[in-house]
Amino acid sequence: MARGTIAGQIAWSIMGTRMKLYDEHMPAPNPRKVRIFLAEKGIEVPRERVAMMKREHKAPEFLKKNSLGQVPVLELDDGTHISESVAICRYLEALHPTPALFGRDAREMAMVEMWMRRAEFRLWAPMGQVWINDDPRTAIVNPNQFPEYGARNRKVVAHAMKWLDGELADGRPWLAGQSYSMADIVLLCGIDFAKFVNMDMPEEATHLRAWHARVSARPSAAA
């Protein structure tokens, strides 16, 4: 499929659909999920940075694309705006199904979904509360922090990491089984952002650390 550029802004056509990804650089974890997914698929989609430190994600023009003021957002040529990183990846998976990152059959699909949800609820949710309530970098935009609640969630994150370590003790190479999947992308971005919020993997979590080394060694992890 051909693609062209005019000042780097013409969207590549995938199965007849032109699109643009509203993105943000590291350490923003949700846009990173989509970039890793695109890298694994070998798909190129033009990106436009939305600088969160400049509050561009809360600008009136951007709020027309996502009223929650969050990135990433995938813009289609018909004016549709898809937000939520996993929803964007599911859309792209439907257009570009190989390699399958959401599972190849009913069992795999269920396992990938299960582990994505576990990563989101067990790690991402408490990690987000630490970032919101117990990190000085968010105090500027959230003056009503609850540091004690944030600190308590640090313990929840540590417990989740230890639990994940135990789950990976069976020797499987990837989170949902024998194949790399979206579940690995979700967990990787969560683990790495947790470190950014000063919550590294416990030293004794050797199985989780080994998994992290494998997933981080993939070229897509640098996306």
Average pLDDT, the chain: 93
Q: Which of 73, 95, 117 is the last residue of a domain?
A: 95
**Domain residue limits at 76:** 13-95
Query: In this structure, are 77 and 116 located in the same domain?
Result: no
Which pLDDT belongs to residue 109? Answer: 98
Decide if 42 is inside a domain. yes
Q: Which CATH number belongs to the domain containing residue 57 in this structure? A: 3.40.30.10
* Residues 159-198: b if buried by 16+ CB within 10 A, e if exposed: ebbeebbeebeeeeebbbbebbbbbbbbbbbbbbbbebbe
Instruction: Tell me: pLDDT of 70 over 70.
Output: yes
**What is the Cα–Cα distance from 190 to 127, expressed in whole angstroms?**
8
Confidence (pLDDT) at 141: 83
Q: Is the pLDDT of residue 3 over 50?
A: no
In eight-state DSSP terms, residue 72 is -
Question: Is 130's pLDDT higher than 60?
Answer: yes
Contact yes or no for 150/135 (Cβ under 8 A): yes
Residue located via tokens 């308590």: 152
Given this model, what pLDDT does residue 143 score?
Answer: 87
Averaged over 65-72, what is the pLDDT? 98
Judge whether 56 lies within some domain: yes
Q: What is the pLDDT of residues 181-199, one digit of tens each?
A: 999 999 999 999 999 999 9
Arithmetic mean of pLDDT, 154-178: 98
**pLDDT for the residue numbered 140:** 84
Q: Per the structure block, which two tokens stand in for 148?
A: 């004690």
Q: Are residues 78 and 146 in the same domain?
A: no
Higher pLDDT, 80 or 13: 80
Compute CA distances 43 → 14, 84, 98, whole Å.
Answer: 9, 19, 11
**Which domain-ending residue is among 53, 71, 95?**
95
> CA-CA distance, 153 to 163, in Å (whole number)?
15
Q: How many CA atoms lie within 13 A of 76 on its CB side?
A: 14
131-160 confidence digits (pLDDT tens)? 999 999 998 888 899 999 999 999 999 999
Confidence at residue 121, expressed as pLDDT on a 0 to 100 scale = 98
pLDDT (0 to 100) of residue 127 = 98
Count the domains in the chain: 2
> Whose CA is closest to 73, among 22, 26, 35?
22
Residue 158 lies in a domain: yes
The answer to whether residues 56 and 159 belong to one domain is no
What pLDDT is recorded for position 16? 54
pLDDT score recorded for residue 142: 85
Per-residue pLDDT tens over the stretch 119-128: 999 999 999 9
- What average pLDDT score do residues 156-177 get? 98
In the predicted structure, residue 107 carries a pLDDT above the cut 50: yes
Per-residue pLDDT band for 2 (boundaries 50, 70, 90) equals very low
pLDDT digits (tens, 9 = 90+) for 7-33: 333 334 445 568 999 999 999 999 999
For residue 144, give the 3-state DSSP assignment: coil
